[in-house]
Amino acid sequence: MSFLQPFLLWGLLAASIPIIIHLLNKRRHKTIKWAAMQFLLKATRESRGKKKLRHILILTCRALGIAALATAAARPIVSGLLGWGNGRVDVVVLLLDRSTSMELKPGDGYDSRRKVVVEKVRDTLKDLGGARLVLIDSASGQAQDVPSPEALTDLSSTAATDTATDLPALATKAAEFLAETPGRAEVWIATDLQASNWKADDERWASARAALTALPQKPSIRVLGLTGPTASNTSLRLVSSRRSADQLVLDMEISRAENARGTVNLPLTVNLNGSRSTESLTINGQSLRFQKRITLPTGSDTGHGWLSIPADGNERDNAAFFAYGPNRPIKSIVVAPSGESAGYLQLSAAPPGFGNQSVTKLDPAKAATLATSDTALVIWAAPLPSGPTADVLQSFLSAGGQILFLPPGQGSDTTFLGMKWSQPSEAPLGKFFILKDWSRDDGPLRDGIDGTQLPADRLRAIKRQIPIGNATPLARWDDTEPFLVRIVERGTAWFAGSIPDYTWSNLGDADVLLPLVQRLVALGAERFDASYLTTVGSEASKLLPGETRTRLDDYGTPDPANAAYEAGVFKLGDRLLAFNRPAAEDGPEVASKEALDTSLSGTGYTLFEQAGKPGDGAVSKDVWRAFLIAMLFFLISEAILCLPKKTVESSLPTRPGAKATA
């Protein structure tokens, strides 16, 4: 508790006035012994104890009434963050979440959660006064002294960003700072408790807890959780971007709030190299995945742009940025012995009409000459590689390439990425292995953007080989054995359990093989376009020696001081890059109380939840009225105790004929 006018606390000395008067009154009377009074004193001795207690209570009420009046005049305030009776705080370390999700506004349309909490912390420290404020923001991760609470809202390091937040790292930074800072400290964590930012299961929380609790003077931890109802919000996200001849193919996703209902028509603005157009999207439900194809100007080698939807509850998630480079042919390599299977694989990798796609057939005996620098996909239908060839493929995966491994037709103990093939097996006579279960929202057998289902259930196999190893299954046969599994490096290694040969299966039909291979080709081609696309805060977004950062797009009102933490299209030296917010920032999951207890176990933290609305759950409260009420209570109690005691006339029995005398 603190006071706005602490000098008036000198008035507490007035509480001693009733006691002084009482002591002076006792000295005014001179005691004279009188024999006739001894009988009266003896008669009243039994009630003296009660009278003394009554006088003490009256004196106490008078003193407390004056003390309550003096305290109310000094304007006491209590902080929800500092609490009652915590004493003086020397240092307040504010860990400020500046992630994109903190720009979400509460349901009444007030300022964003970030702005609300910054203003409340400012007002609290201004009222309480005296404490040193140190800010560690989530974007820079650097500790800085704030000269005064009033300056907090004007700092560039408290402004909005398009970054994610790493709260375990912030907690560790706070512990490192306090280890070198003496005095009583408190750590305030201002966050919307988004699960992807809190990272409750992260092992770094253990070291952060240990560092905080091991400090010579253990700090108090206050979690200022900004939760509650929010304004209606729709987010737009770029899933992937790739150039296909004279078109730019953008995979997009629009998400609405969980409580969104009904169908809505949403205008989508497209800006390409400064030219704008608008179209309407119809959204039915909470999300929509769609593909946007943008025709590029003739002879356009490089360019950039953005897509946007109207502003709503969070203006930071209403735009997606893209950039593109020169058109390049998409190359695939098929490593397989000559035969029916190799022919189907070549046809699926470069179908007629796909002018910018090409495929090269390579005999397994010549696999050592494999060159993958300009390759999107390698289809390997041969015994698993080993030696230098395995090293080449491993490097290809590390560079973002895609490899589809198909059965070699024979068992082998050779492994690649810990995977190997089982011995070939055949279905019983007159029966088939049937593909029964596959992922419809992930992998190359997923449903189309428009929800069209791939007819993978038409796949029938007479012969198969099972991929064995620690991989993620995405499709299974009807006996639950895996058909398609994957291992993700930077690129992905896929293992499919049959080949497009009619002595094996009908995989050669276009129903399954063509979409499967083409999706892997597109995925592999993204590694070339990925050099034009990154997320805010990634390693690729950092300046290299000698580079400068120049913003190219004209969306919104960019903040030069926070250019490194904003989404947009930038020129970094000779590099052209489109920056978008991390995908996790669109996640609605909030860390539970149990998650906080696990992360901050043993720190004695306090969770201070707010609805994110100014005026609700104020960080500090003026409580002088409570002391005025206390004063009235004490004075009324004193008045009641001072009321004269009623006398009761006693009726004594008399003899018949006797007269009562006064």
pLDDT at residue 69, rounded to an integer: 81
pLDDT in tens, 576-615: 999 999 999 998 899 999 999 999 999 989 887 753 444 4
Residue 89 burial by CB count (10 A; 0-12/13-18/19+): exposed, middle or buried? buried
Q: For residues 145 and 453, what is the distance between their CA atoms, to the nearest angstrom?
A: 57
Q: pLDDT-based confidence at 28, cuts 50/70/90?
A: low
pLDDT in tens, 631-659: 788 788 878 878 776 654 544 455 555 45
Residue 424 burial by CB count (10 A; 0-12/13-18/19+): exposed, middle or buried? middle
Contact of 442 with 396, CB cutoff 8 Å: no
526 or 101, greater pLDDT:
101
pLDDT at residue 83, rounded to an integer: 44
Phi/psi-derived region of residue 480, left when phi > 0, alpha when psi is between -120 and 50, beta in every other case? left
Q: pLDDT-based confidence at 85, cuts 50/70/90?
A: very low
Q: pLDDT-based confidence at 329, cuts 50/70/90?
A: confident
User: How open is the CA angle 147-198-188, to the nearest 5 degrees?
Assistant: 30
Cβ neighbours around 507 below 10 Å, total:
26
pLDDT in tens, 376-420: 999 999 999 999 999 999 999 998 899 999 999 888 788 999 999
Tell me which residue of 330, 325, 378 sits closest to 356, measured CA to CA.
330
Strands ordered across the beta sheet of 247-256: 234-244, 247-256, 287-295
652 or 49, greater pLDDT:
49
Beta-bridge mates of residue 306: 271, 321
Mean pLDDT across 283-298: 89
Residue 179: what residue type? A
Q: Is 47 a residue whose pLDDT tops 80?
A: no
29 or 490, greater pLDDT:
490
Mean pLDDT across 495-511: 91
Alpha-helix runs per DSSP H in 281-382: 340-349
pLDDT at residue 197, rounded to an integer: 95
pLDDT at residue 52, rounded to an integer: 75
Contact of 84 with 78, CB cutoff 8 Å: yes
Q: Would you tell me which CATH number, out of the four given (3.50.4.10, 3.40.50.980, 3.40.50.880, 3.40.1110.10), belongs to the domain 330-529?
A: 3.40.50.880
Residue 140 burial by CB count (10 A; 0-12/13-18/19+): exposed, middle or buried? middle
Q: pLDDT-based confidence at 270, cuts 50/70/90?
A: very high
Q: Is 622 a residue whose pLDDT tops 60?
A: no
β-strand 575-580 against 533-535: which pairing, if any? parallel
Q: Where are the domains of the chain?
A: 2-76+629-642, 81-227+590-618, 234-327+536-586, 330-529
Q: Is 36 a residue whose pLDDT tops 70?
A: no
Q: pLDDT-based confidence at 34, cuts 50/70/90?
A: low
pTM: 0.73
Q: Is 57 a residue whose pLDDT tops 60?
A: yes
Q: Would you tell me which CATH number, out of the four given (3.30.70.360, 2.40.30.10, 1.10.150.80, 3.40.50.410), belongs to the domain 81-227+590-618?
A: 3.40.50.410
pLDDT in tens, 525-548: 888 877 799 999 998 889 999 999
Residue 577: what residue type? L
Residue 65: both structure tokens together: 């009434």
Task: For domain 234-327+536-586, give the CATH number.
Answer: 2.60.40.10
The yes-or-no answer to whether 81-227+590-618 and 330-529 have a common fold is: yes
Mean pLDDT across 245-258: 88
* Residue 532, phi then psi, degrees to nearest 5: -105, 0
Q: For residues 279 and 285, what is the distance between their CA atoms, to the nearest angstrom?
A: 19
| List of long-range contacts for 370-373, beta carbons under 8 Å, 24+ apart | 370/333, 370/335, 372/333, 372/396, 372/399, 372/401
| 3-class state of residue 501 by DSSP | coil
Q: Is 324 a residue whose pLDDT tops 50?
A: yes
Q: Which helix (H) or strand (E) holds 268?
A: strand 263-272
Alpha-carbon torsion angle 230, 234, 240, 245, nearest 10? -160
